[in-house]
Amino acid sequence: MSSPFGAYQSEIYLRGLAGQVPAFTTDTARLEDAARGRMEPGPFGYVAGGAGSGATVRANREAFDRWRLMPRMLTGATDRELGTTVLGTAMPAPVLLAPVGAQSILHPDGELATARAAAALGLTMVLSTAASNTIEDVAAAGADGSRWFQLYWPNDDDVTISLLQRAKSAGFTVLVVTLDTWTLAWRPADLDHSYLPFLRGIGTAIPFSDPAFLAGLEKTPEEDPQSAILRWVPMFTGTDKRWDRLPFLREHWSGPIVLKGIQHARDARRAVDSGVDGIIVSNHGGRQVDGAVGALDVLPEIAAAVGDRLTVLFDSGIRTGADVVKALSLGAKAVLVGRPYAYGLAMDGESGVRHALRSILADFDLTMGLSGHRTLADLSPDTLRRT
C-alpha cells in the first residue's frame, strides 16, 4: 500500500472550503512558540526546558541545519512506500512516539489520549515508566495499537521484575531502557518554578499501582502520598548502574531490548557486545547533559560503528519531515518524536497529538517524493550534503 500521509495536505485545504483551519500551526518547527502562550508556565517549562544553559537543545537543532537534502528529479516517486518493520513491529512510517512522562500535566487524559492518537495513526507509542496512567489503562486505551515500554530502571529488583511482567502481559513488545536519566539534570526552567511533577505525585501512576512497590508501604499512596513519594524518590533517582547489570533485564524480559541515550560510538559497540537488540541515539532532547554534542552529529559515527549488528534508532531534535529524512539517511532505521506531540497534547488533547504527528508525517511523505525518494531504501548519506 502506498503512503497515505501526504493526503493530510488536501484534507486541510478541503476543510478550508468549509471555513475551517487547523487548531494550531502546521509548522511543526514552531510548535514551541505556538504552545508558549497556551500553557501554564510550569508545564511549559517542563516540556521546553533543557539541561543548564540549553546548549544541547540548541545543538540538536543546529546539527540538523548543517545537513541539506540533494533533491533528485524524474524518479517516478509518485507513490511512496514508507512502511517498515522495526524489532518485529510493523509501522506505516518509521516514526514512533518517544516516551514522555507525566502527560497529565499537559492534558487531563494524559497518556490515554496519546495512546488513542497513536493507535488511530497506526504508530507505535513508547510508554514511559513515569506515566500519569497505569500500564494497563494505557494498553486498554491503545487497544490494537502497537506499544513498547520504556523502563526507568528501579533500584529494586522485585519492582523491576514486576514492572516488566506487567508490561509483557499488557502487550508491550519491546523494552526501551533509558540510561541517561538515572538522576535529573540541573534544569533551570523547572528549578525557577520549583516545579517537579513527581514530587506532587504526578507521573507516578505505574509504581503506585504496582504490587511489588506497594508491598514496601504501610498505607496506600492515596492514604499517605508522602510516604509513597519518599519511597519513589530513591528508587528512581540517584543511582547509576553498570553494563554488567544488563543480563538481569535479559533474564526477565523475553522480547527485544533497546538502550536509549547512547551518544558515543564506544558505548554503541559495548551495546553490541552486551547482546541488546537496538539502541536509540539520543541525548534526551538536550534535557540531561548541558554542553553536549548534538545527537544528529554523532549518528553517522555510531551507525558506522555498529553496522547491522543491531537496530539503530534516533531521537532528539526531530521537528519536520526533512529532519526525518536526514536522520534516516544518516543511518537510523526509525526516529522518535518527543516535544512536538507533547505540545499537540497540551494544545488540543488527542486531536492535537494527531494533528502534530500527521503534520510531520505529511511533510515527511511529501519531502520524500519531491526529493525523488520512493522508498526508505532509497535513502543514504548520498541523499545529503553537509554544509
In DSSP notation, 175-196 reads: EEEE-TTSS----HHHHHTT--
Give the CA-trace dihedral at 35, 41, 43, 45, to 10 degrees.
Answer: 80
Binding mask 3-32 for ligand FNR (x = CB under 6 A): ------------------------------
Q: Does the annotation count 284 as an active-site position?
A: yes
Q: How many residues bind ligand FNR (CB under 6 A)?
A: 23
Nearer to ligand FNR, 114 or 178 (CB): 178
Residue 316 touching ligand FNR (CB under 6 A): yes
Alpha carbons 103 and 357: distance in angstroms, whole number: 16
> Which listed residue (107, 284, 355, 373) is catalytic?
284
Residue 95 touching ligand FNR (CB under 6 A): no
Residue 57 in contact with residue 281, Cβ under 8 Å? Answer: no
90: cell is 510493523
Residue 107 touching ligand FNR (CB under 6 A): no
Alpha carbons 318 and 186: distance in angstroms, whole number: 23
Residue 56 touching ligand FNR (CB under 6 A): no
Torsion sign, CA atoms 23, 24, 25, 26: negative
Burial tier of 342 (Cβ tally within 10 Å: 0-12, 13-18, 19+): buried
Residue 132 touching ligand FNR (CB under 6 A): no
Candidates 47, 115, 135, 262: give the one binding ligand FNR (CB under 6 A). 47
Nearer to ligand FNR, 141 or 179 (CB): 179
Candidates 25, 134, 150, 351: give the one binding ligand FNR (CB under 6 A). 150
Residue 147 touching ligand FNR (CB under 6 A): no
Alpha carbons 118 and 312: distance in angstroms, whole number: 22
Binding mask 278-307 for ligand FNR (x = CB under 6 A): ----x-xx----------------------
Degrees, nearest 5: CA angle 38-95-16: 50
**DSSP code of 294?**
P
Least distance in angstroms from the C-beta of 157 to ligand FNR:
20
Residue 160 touching ligand FNR (CB under 6 A): no
Nearer to ligand FNR, 42 or 225 (CB): 42
Contact residues for 265 (Cβ-Cβ < 8 A; gap 6+):
298, 301, 302, 304, 305
In DSSP notation, 47-84 reads: HH--STTSHHHHHHHHHHHTEEE----SS--SS-B--E
Q: Which stretch binds ligand FNR (CB under 6 A): 17-25, 29-37, 312-320, 379-387?
A: 312-320
Candidates 5, 44, 46, 149: give the one binding ligand FNR (CB under 6 A). 46
Closest residue by beta carbon to ligand FNR: 338
Candidates 147, 339, 355, 358: give the one binding ligand FNR (CB under 6 A). 339
Nearer to ligand FNR, 338 or 344 (CB): 338
Least distance in angstroms from the C-beta of 205 to ligand FNR:
12
Burial tier of 52 (Cβ tally within 10 Å: 0-12, 13-18, 19+): middle
Give the CA-trace dihedral at 104, 286, 28, 341, to 10 degrees.
Answer: -20
Nearer to ligand FNR, 324 or 374 (CB): 324
Q: Which helix (DSSP H) or strand (DSSP E) does residue 334 occupy?
A: strand 334-337
Least distance in angstroms from the C-beta of 259 to ligand FNR:
11
Residue 354 touching ligand FNR (CB under 6 A): no
Catalytic residues: 284
Binding stretches for ligand FNR (CB under 6 A): 46-47, 60, 98-101, 128, 130, 150, 178, 260, 282, 284-285, 315-318, 337-339, 342
